[in-house]
Chains A and B, each alone.
Chain A
Amino acid sequence: MKVRGLMLVLLVPWVVHAEEPYYGSRVASLALSGTESEADLQTIPLKVGDSITPENVRASIQTLYNTGKYSYIEVDATPAGQGTTNLTFRVQPHFFFSTFRLEPANLLERSLSGYFRLPLGEKFTTSAVDRIIEDATELLKSEGYFEVKITPEYDRNQATRLVFVTLRAEPGPKATIAEIRIQGGQQTFSPKELLQAMNLHSGDDFAQTKLDKSVAAIRAKFTDLGFLNTRVNVDRQYTAAMHTVDLNLTIQPGQFTLVEPNGFDISKKKLRELVPIFEEGAVDQDLVAEGRMQIERYMQQEGYFEATVDSQVIEAPLDNAIQINYNITPGVSHHIESVSILGNKQISTEEIRKRIKIRKGSLFSRGVFSRELLDQDVRTIEAMYRNGGYEGTSVRGSYEERDHAIDVVIQTEEGTRLPVDFVTFLGNFAVPDQELRRKIVLKENDVYAPVAVDQARAALMELYYSKGYADVRVEPSVDRTQTNNGVRVTFQISEGEAYQIGSILVAGNTLTKEKIIHRNSSLYPNTPYNPEAILEGQRKLYATGLFNRVEIVSLEQNLQRIRNLLIQVEDAKPISVTYGIGFQEYEHARATVDLSHNNLFGLDRSLSFRVRGSQRERLFQTTYREPKLFNHDLDGFASTFIEHTERPFLNANRIDFSLQVLKRFSPQQNVLFTSSYQTVNLGDFRVNLQAQTIPPEQGPCWSTTVDASGKVTTHGTCQIARVGTSFIQDRRNDPLNPSTGSFSTTTFQLASRAFGSELNFTSLFNQSSFYSPVPHGVLATSFRLGWNHPFGITGKNPFPQLPPTERYFAGGSTTLRGFSFDKAEPSGGNIMTIGNVEYRVPLRIFPIPGVGGALFYDTGNVFKEIRDIHLRGFTHAAGFGLRYQTPVGPVRVDFGVNLKPRKTIDGTMEDRFHVFFTLGNPF
């Protein structure tokens, strides 16, 4: 009892303290806890010595919250004696969202970011997480996980203030389809046919995406028959006990719609393209009218320039059917004889022709013309002049018809270009006028052109971005001046605030090391916040191939002039297996399998294995790549391959080991340094198997013998060690099918006994190709020069000093098309000179797009030695080819004619005609 009493007494001070009236007391001291700096305390209304009231405490909390730095604030009071109180503001700075992960990860095909927007970099709130959980739950339910429950887990990093959110899903069993019931539509299709169209069966896993496809397939089935506006409603009933879903489909077939063109024959397929009711799956007046206009346009483009089209709609409501008749009066068919463009001096006719739609007729085409097109083309030409700064340009289009032939004339009266009298900047406080002027190309006294003003605006934005003014706006305006009849261009600039990048955080990487991400982003702390640099950083990270997803966002913090960045990534699967099949001249069909790990140890290193096989080649190759060799901007490669190759005149087995360093100067220019060691085993070297007399070869490390029957056998293994360098410049607009630009590669190699090689020689090779757009197509030219120069002991021998694997051969679909593969000079040579000219045109006469043709001329040859080069030795071949564009390059059939066939060693004449079927351009 006494004890209890004593305990009660001892608790009295607690009770007394708990009721101590802090409100009304004076502030003894103020403190801010939970953040590094107490500077924010200066902003609050409460000061030391003030009387504490609920209002000023709340106002202080509000002030601190308004800084945008803190997610939670509490005020702790402790008595300080003599009726005063110490107040401590305990704050919790904001956390920000970084990675969202769904576990288990294999529930969905893609990560969550592939389905909906995630609040990366935004302030952490549980309500945002709740919304994502709701979306993820709906998504999983649509994938058949009807009983899914998701709970969030948060991993907060106090140092970076980032929150990693894991959504742990208990998916429950995946639902399967139990029964599928179909109502309606059975007058048109049997239930079996409808079920077949759905491609869904009892027992299949349920997924909303599959169901949507099934519904679309059923609608398409009805639309194909002419039933537009078909409705398919699906009611899905989930039975939790069995984890099954019953699907009840109700089909309401739409109106049966028949579209009939009268007066002109238009194929059903074309009609569907022209009349939009099929694409829309609905019938209404607007769509019928649009169909009428499209048919009229089509008729005019087919040469019926006076064609008229009426539409007539006949409804049969009792039969739920509708017929749309398009009554076509084609008129007389015309041919576009000529399209003349006159009066243009400043813009070339070629340039104008490229932009207009009217076309002159040809052998296989009547041309393209209609009054509407003519008006459009007039407006197009006027816009071309306007954008070029020509004021007052007048363009008139007219046409004349005689004997169903139409001559179109487009007459231009060019206006005048105005001078730029003044270039003025307004609103720039941070960047002086001189600096702005230096940045733009547009100057006073230049000729005014709207495109130049746009370019100047873009340049100014770029300048401000580079200084961290991410919110800058530049609005140009152009006014006429009285003085010189010129223009004043004014750039109104709204600079906004300048920001610097604070810290750069990385999140989401499970494999790739952070330093690799930082390095490849090319973004650095304490540099200006440049939105273009950030986009470029994102692009560079994607270009590494290491990530499925890269986002760079700024954290939602209200920091003065600082923006902290978050680089959020999703690592791609590092191991890839690719395979391909192809067709190569001489080798015929070949297959390739590549297995590679693209991100060894998370350091962007790669190791790959390749196996390639065909009738005439077997290759096994392994390559290791090291980026940033010796911490420089160099890619290093170590590669080894084992190859068996068969060519028309030789078989060889090779083992090669090489080291390479690649320096990229720009996306168009690279330099490659190589050193390699190769063992070549010449199993067979054949020259003209039918020849009666064949000179035997004797090289430094091989020899050939010919027995009495003419069978040639080669023996020998050569070790070749060499170093070399290649310079590659690629300015083609499209590597697979270029129409402009150039490509050049120059390689120099040195093989020497000093490195352990059995042979001494230098090798210089250059290929230069040029592509120019010409009327109707592209002119492609290519020059190849190869020169092997044996020296030292090797050079003392007569030809051939080098094994056939090092010699040049010519002939085939990519060199001289007057010869089969390698057959221009059977024994090969140390010198190669080849020139090719090809005129490539698209062939629009064929109804299939992507078909083209080519006319070509090939010349050149391989020569044993330099002294053997003479024009008489050049071969000449010409021919034509057909191409068909595919996503991986053109499929090509070339017909080559040897214009100067020679006698072969065995006395027969070289074949004159050759056909080549292959993939890819010849150069």
Chain B
Amino acid sequence: MQKEARSEKLRENGVRRLFLARISYRSAARVCGRGLTLFSLGFWLLASFCLHAEIIDRIMAVVEGRIVTLSDIRQEREIRARLGQKLIDDKALIQDLIENYLIESQIADFPGVEVSDSEIEAELRKLQQPSALPSPAMREVIRKRIQMAKYFDVRFRQFLRASDEEIRKYYDEVFVPEAKARGLNPIPPLEQVADVIPKNVIEEKLDHEVKIWLEAIRRRSDIEIFE
């Protein structure tokens, strides 16, 4: 009985405390709200009198003496969007631009990798939306991409071959699981896909070679990224 009375008393105290807390909270909120208002007003007034400078462009990275600016990144993002490519964040975009610059400097020392206007036109026809006109920047990007592809062909691809063992391995470890995952039934035999798999194997090898080659170039290049 005493225990119950005590509990009841505690409950009553608790409620009272809660009620008091609520009252305090409301008062506090009222006080706080006014304070916040005054603060915001003051801050706005102060800021309004200050020059709030905006960075409209800056150096994001320097690659072997070539600068990558914020405007370069914006332009690259825009071009990728127009080309229908997957959008990536700025950090990844900087890395891509850095790699492009490094590859371009390698191509500059490698004669005989030229791109004609007709090749650029052909590529644009594949990609362009009918109503949009390609900007000079877009054409330049296309030209560089074609040139890069040609360079890799000459520098790496022509030396790459897919051995029978590699074809068989690709078929077993990549093609068959992928086919099963897609629900292909029956799974085409190796002979049926023999003309496609070698190309994939060579593409993988090419990616691997280019990756190692780029890593080596990065390691000996002066690259500075400004956060």
Q: Which residues of A contact B (CB under 8 A)?
A: 3, 6-7, 10-11, 13-14, 17-18, 20, 22-23, 52, 54, 57-58, 61-62, 65, 71-78, 86, 88, 125-128, 131, 134
Contact = CB atoms under 8 A, between A and B. Distances in A.
Contacts of B221: 127
Given A58-B69, A125-B224, A126-B224, A10 B44 contact: yes
A78 B71 contact: no
Contact of B37 (A3, A72, A76, A134): A3
A7 B71 contact: no
Contacts of B220: 131
B224 A77 contact: no
Interface in B34-68: 34, 36-37, 40-41, 44, 47-48, 51-59, 62, 67
A75 B40 contact: no
B67 A131 contact: no
Q: Which of B37, B51, B59, B223 has the most CB of A within 10 A?
A: B59
Interface string B125-149: 0000000000000000000000000
Nearest to A134: B219
A13 B222 contact: no
B224 A71 contact: yes
Contacts of B59: 61, 65, 72-74
Contact of A3 (B36, B75, B223, B225): B36
B189 to A, nearest CB: 43
Contact of A77 (B47, B48, B53, B67): B53
A134 B225 CA distance: 18
B110 interface: no
Interface of B: 33-34, 36-37, 40-41, 44, 47-48, 51-59, 62, 67, 69, 71-72, 74-75, 219-226
Given A7-B37, A62-B67, A128-B222, 11 more contacts: A3-B34, A6-B37, A6-B40, A61-B67, A65-B59, A73-B59, A74-B55, A88-B53, A125-B224, A127-B222, A131-B220
Given A3-B33, A74-B57, A75-B55, A10 B41 contact: yes
B57 A75 contact: yes
A75 B56 contact: yes
Contacts, number: 86
Contacts of B67: 61-62, 65
Which DSSP category, helix, strand, loop or mixed, fits chain B's interface? mixed
A10 B55 CA distance: 23
Nearest to A70: B59
A32 B56 CA distance: 15
Nearest to A88: B53
A76 B62 CA distance: 20
Contacts of A52: 56
B117 to A, nearest CB: 23
B55 A76 contact: yes
Given A3-B36, A7-B40, A10-B40, A58 B52 contact: no
Contact of A54 (B47, B51, B57, B223): B57
A72 B44 CA distance: 31
Nearest to A77: B56
Contacts of B41: 10
Contact of A76 (B36, B56, B223, B226): B56
25 contacts: A3-B37, A6-B40, A7-B36, A7-B37, A7-B40, A10-B44, A13-B44, A13-B48, A18-B54, A54-B74, A57-B57, A61-B59, A61-B69, A71-B62, A72-B59, A74-B58, A75-B58, A76-B53, A76-B55, A78-B52, A86-B51, A125-B222, A125-B223, A127-B222, A131-B220
A72 B60 CA distance: 9
Closest 3 pairs between A and B when the two form their complex, measured CB to CB: A74-B58, A76-B53, A78-B51
A128 B58 CA distance: 22
Contact of B71 (A13, A54, A76, A127): A54
Contacts of B226: 72
A22 B54 contact: yes
A73 B58 contact: yes
A809 B224 CA distance: 76
A28 B41 CA distance: 30
Nearest to B58: A74
A343 to B, nearest CB: 58
A811 B53 CA distance: 94
A23 B56 contact: yes
Most buried by A among B34, B40, B44, B54: B54
Contacts of A126: 224-225
Nearest to B74: A54
B222 A58 contact: no
A134 B58 CA distance: 30
B67 to A, nearest CB: 5
A23 B75 CA distance: 14
Nearest to B219: A131
Contacts of A61: 57-59, 67, 69
A186 to B, nearest CB: 37
Contacts of A134: 219
A244 to B, nearest CB: 30
A413 B26 CA distance: 122
Contacts of A65: 59, 67
A57 B226 CA distance: 18
Most chain A C-beta atoms within 10 Å of own C-beta, residue among B57, B62, B71, B72: B57
B48 A78 contact: no
A886 B38 CA distance: 92
B143 to A, nearest CB: 19
B53 to A, nearest CB: 4
Nearest to B226: A72
Contacts of B51: 78, 86
A73 to B, nearest CB: 5
A465 B4 CA distance: 105
Nearest to A86: B51
Contacts of A74: 55, 57-59
